[in-house]
Structure 1
């Protein structure tokens, strides 16, 4: 993922009002390892149930698209799987988040939801080596496929927010 500035981050949200953009709490962008990120997600330190995700378009080199998310009041009752990284081995909490749709559909109350890792550690999860199912298993290829799948799933969620 290409490094982003605070101004770029605030401008890329497709489903947030001007006030929500200006009030957004931003992470320390200088402390991020941009090369290890397929998406940038963070929780708002001021508003506990609000979070944000920014997904680059065109496989990582295109313009970023940001989505404001709200965590559901209820938590899943059992161990659930993140819809983006599909990690089942690491004990990361997974939460249900919803996003108001962009444009007129969102102003009319339309939303879309998904299950994601609570602290958006998906990029790290897909880079964790999978277990070796057999001798000669290509770990590097499996890791690359998991990274591609994460990018595809996250971009699909952003598409669902922007095209309804």
Structure 2
């Protein structure tokens, strides 16, 4: 992913109202981000619990979405993130929703998927050892490519109604 400025990140959000954009809090270590090793940029809001952000490149342009984690807890013992396909303890995976871009989002339409609660998918796919005893891992490159493709597909579903 190419290096982004704070302004570029803020301007990239396609599903946020103006008042939401004022609330976007970048991670404290934003200036230290190693963009050369990122397939997408995702982080939990450091001030608002259950809120997160994801920025990826779409047609060479940064495209960001605001995410909200569902409240509540799961009775499951383990769960799988739909982006990085990593098995995690159930309390480390949450249903995140994103309001759709454009008129559909203004009418309340949203989509969701299960993601790592700390939005660390980018790092999780680079781990050599499985996180769960029953987890079978493909090659690191295959996992990275799959995570990138699933992330871009999710963002595309958020954007598609606005076009």
1:59-138 → structure 2 map (5 Å cutoff): 62-78=60-76, 79-88=78-87, 93-129=92-128
Q: Which protein has the bigger strand share? A: 2
CA separation in 1, counterparts of 2:68 and 2:154? 14
With the length of structure 1 as denominator, give the TM-score of the two structures.
0.85
Q: Which runs of 5+ in 1 are unaligned?
A: 132-138
10-19 vs 121-130, which moves further: 121-130
The aligned counterpart of 2:145 is 148
1:9 has 2:6 as partner: no
The aligned counterpart of 2:158 is 161
The aligned counterpart of 2:52 is 51
CA separation in 2, counterparts of 1:110 and 1:150? 25
Report the count of equivalent residues: 152
CA separation in 1, counterparts of 2:23 and 2:114? 25
Runs of at least 4 residues off by over 6 Å:
none
> Residue 112 of structure 1 contacts residue 161 of structure 1 at CA under 8 Å; is this kept in 2?
yes
The aligned counterpart of 1:134 is none
With the length of structure 2 as denominator, give the TM-score of the two structures.
0.86
CA separation in 1, counterparts of 2:150 and 2:139? 16
